[in-house]
Amino acid sequence: MNGFRDIVDAVGGITVDNPFAFTYDKTAFPKGHIMLNGEKALKYARMRHDDPRGGFGREDRQKQVVEAVIQKGATSVLAYDDMLRAIARHVKTNLTLEQMKAIYTNYKRAHTNVEKLHLAGTSTKINGVFYVIIREKERQSVSKQLNAHLQIAPSLPRKTKALPQ
């Protein structure tokens, strides 16, 4: 998680739109647009138990943080070098810093063309473990969208395995 904090700090902090006020780990997060440094961004992204949507709310906040980092890194020439250095310190890869810079340079505008897909399902607990059950029709719909976007020929339909009861 040090890498997470360092990356947010490398771009000079981020601004997110917090949907509701909460306190997590002795840090208050008011409702509305808030500025977060790396430490606060990590806390903001971790909170789950006080969120009315539980893990789904946490996932939304995590996406907010990642999108804010990408947005800020893509629009600030000065920030991307620091951001890539922070990533290089905390991520194992066979890419060199120069290769990461080349990828960033070639794809930095991609953040303006992001399509989010959502799998809707029903929540249930089985043997004490939380699951979201996705209907086959829903899975196939999202699969078709991904195949079209990635220009992958559709494969034969496959049956999903039922969860043990």
Q: What is the pLDDT of residue 37?
A: 96
Model pLDDT for residues 70-125, shown as the tens digit of each residue? 888 766 666 667 777 777 777 777 888 788 778 777 776 766 677 777 788 888 88
Write down the mean pLDDT value for the chain: 82
- Cβ-based neighbour number of residue 135 at 10 Å: 13
Q: 3-class DSSP state for residue 40?
A: helix
| pLDDT of 141 over the 60 cut | yes
Whether 42 contacts 1, CB under 8 Å: yes
Model pLDDT for residues 54-63, shown as the tens digit of each residue? 888 999 999 9
Domains along the chain? 2-112 (3.40.630.190), 117-165 (no CATH)
| pLDDT of 32 over the 70 cut | yes
Q: 3-class DSSP state for residue 27?
A: strand
What is the share, in percent, of the chain residues with pLDDT greater than 90? 29
Q: How many whole angstroms separate alpha carbon 120 and alpha carbon 67?
A: 22
Q: What is the pLDDT of residue 62?
A: 92
Whether 47 contacts 58, CB under 8 Å: yes
Pair type for strands 121-126 and 32-36: unpaired
Provide the residue type at 28 as one letter.
Answer: A
- 36 beta partners: 14
Q: What is the pLDDT of residue 29?
A: 97
The alpha carbon torsion through 93, 95, 100, 106 (nearest 10 deg) reads: -120
Q: What is the pLDDT of residue 14?
A: 94
- 122 beta partners: 133
